[in-house]
Amino acid sequence: MDSEDQKNEIRELSSVQLRVLGVLMEKAFTTPEQYPLTLKSLTSGCNQKSNRIPVSQHSEDTIMSTLDELRDMLLVAEVFTDGGRAPRYRHYMRHRFDFSESEFAIIAELMLRGSQQPGELRTRASRMVRIESQESLRNALVSLREKGFVRANGPLERRGVIVDHTFYLSAVTPKLSEFQSPDESSNMAVTSMNAATEPGSSEAVDNLRVEVEKQRQEIDSLKHTVARLEDLMR
């Protein structure tokens, strides 16, 4: 399963499969002390309101059936930890794809939110793996696009370009122009402001966004800690 010729073969995933994998990848990076995840914690992560587009209301039964599908695809495994009463679940994306750590973070973020501009994508992916600059992000995006897992509606160096993953089912693959972030107008305003100010201000705004996302992630971590304690008390 680890040989290179068996990697990068999976090209299509359902929307629920994308959400489950995205959450497992995200939590492995951001809350390793709570990973692997119980079914309850995973369902909570799939349905959380922050950093999810669209916000979902999946039941535990739906998440469980999706986990079974992903296990058949060798993308997820069920594990039992010492002293744990409930089974936990972890992703096996590293066994199935030859992405770098920053590329895994980028793909996870795109799975969770869909299409984004590179500036906001770097901000959000940096919660998982620090991406030092827009050039570093662009290099990772180029690599992913060459492998066929990222698409864009223009040159990656163009201001305002939109990027997205390519894991959609062929029958439901949307056009990039159909993806509109809820805060797109504010992002466009920030882009215009950056263009009008001195060089380097865009980088400062991106760094501020990273710090804001870190604060949001700490709140999510506390929520998952509560969910884990509830599991232990069952």
Residue 133's contacts (CB-CB under 8 Å, 6 or more residues apart) are 203
**For 149-163, what is the mean pLDDT?**
94
| pLDDT digit string, tens, across residues 8-43 | 999 999 999 999 999 999 999 999 999 999 999 999
Q: Are 106 and 195 in contact (CB under 8 A)?
A: no
**Longest alpha-carbon distance in the chain:** 57
194 three-class SS: helix
Question: What pTM was computed for the model?
Answer: 0.75
Q: Which residue has the higher pLDDT, 17 or 184?
A: 17
Nearest one of 168, 169, 48, 177 to 111, comparing CA atoms:
168
Mean pLDDT, all residues of the chain: 82
Predicted pLDDT at 124: 96
Domains and CATH numbers, the chain: 8-97+219-227 (1.10.10.10), 101-215 (1.10.10.10)
Residue 164's contacts (CB-CB under 8 Å, 6 or more residues apart) are 110, 114, 115, 116, 150, 151, 152, 176, 179
**For 170-184, what is the mean pLDDT?**
63
Nearest one of 58, 60, 50 to 127, comparing CA atoms:
50
User: Can you list the positions of beta strands (E) in the chain?
Assistant: 37-38, 76-79, 88-91, 150-152, 163-165
| pLDDT digit string, tens, across residues 94-110 | 999 999 999 999 999 99
Tell me: pLDDT of 227 over 90. Answer: no
Question: 116: which DSSP letter?
Answer: B
| pLDDT digit string, tens, across residues 158-174 | 989 999 999 999 988 88
Predicted pLDDT at 188: 38
Pairwise CA distance, residues 55 & 156, whole Å: 28
